[in-house]
Structure 1
Amino acid sequence: MKESRLFRILIILAGVMGADGVILAAASAHQGDATRLVPASSMLLFHATGVLAVVALIERGVVHARIGLAAAFGFVVAAALFAGDLTLRHFASHGLFPLAAPTGGTLLIASWITLAVAAAWPRRN
């Protein structure tokens, strides 16, 4: 019951991430010097798909549920930090906070490693 609620939240967040990624891709195509929006868009789109994949893998019992959930929420937070910082730098000429994008990138790497651990960790039957 609790997992299905978390799955629903993750799917909603992935949908928002995907929509934001498309919006940023469109903005980068139609605005001059929007080079920061391209990687922001890519991170949101790639990791929205990653979140959906993790939910599916947990539901199929392929990855450890709690560790997989940590990876999925890590993707959400990290992509928001990374893309949010680059987007704010483009539109407002300042970032979220010092080193926000590198922090998001590092958290993305850690989340992918967490997903690998979730696949390797023995699951309780």
Structure 2
Amino acid sequence: MRLNDRFVPLFYLLSGLFGFAGVALAAAAAHGGGDAHLLASASAMCLAHAPALLALAFGIDKIKTAWLAGLLIGIGTLLFSADLVSLRFAGSGLFPMAAPTGGFAMMFGWLAVAAGAVFRVRP
């Protein structure tokens, strides 16, 4: 089994979980009061990155940097969203700077996608 093949199931799993969480968080934000904007932001990140992870899983043999991009986007989305959900329901975040760390991870994940244009898999 090649290294890239090991990431495909993880990307499918995260894509499905983020899609589910995104819809659930959007519903909670629509019906919640107070700090519901935190849930809306978490929902947006989950719903934006779920299809991206799915696409990276499909393109893992075509984009040399897909495994790195997927890991960064997956970990970043998880950190960012979980921190906002924790802040909303528990009153405190996961750890100091969890959301910004997740945000930076997502941004670097997208840069890894862009780097795939330069570091291409040759047929």
TM-score (norm 1): 0.89
Question: 1:119: Cα distance to partner?
Answer: 2.6
Structure 1 match to 2:55? 53
- Report 1:4-83 matches (<5 A): 4-33=5-34, 34-59=36-61, 61=62, 63-64=63-64, 67-83=65-81
Query: How far apart are residue 58 of structure 1 and its match?
Result: 2.2
Give the C-alpha shift of residue 57 in structure 1. 2.1
Correspondence for 1:98 among 96, 99, 104: 96
Paired AA for residue 102 in structure 1: P
Q: How many residues align?
A: 121
1:81-106 C-alpha deviation (Å, 9 max, x unpaired)? 00000000000000000111011111
Separation (CA, whole Å) in 2 of partners of 1:9 and 1:82:
18
- For structure 1, the 5+ residue unaligned runs are none
TM normalised by structure 2 equals 0.91
Over aligned residues, Cα RMSD in angstroms?
1.4
Structure 1 residue 4 displacement after superposition: 3.7
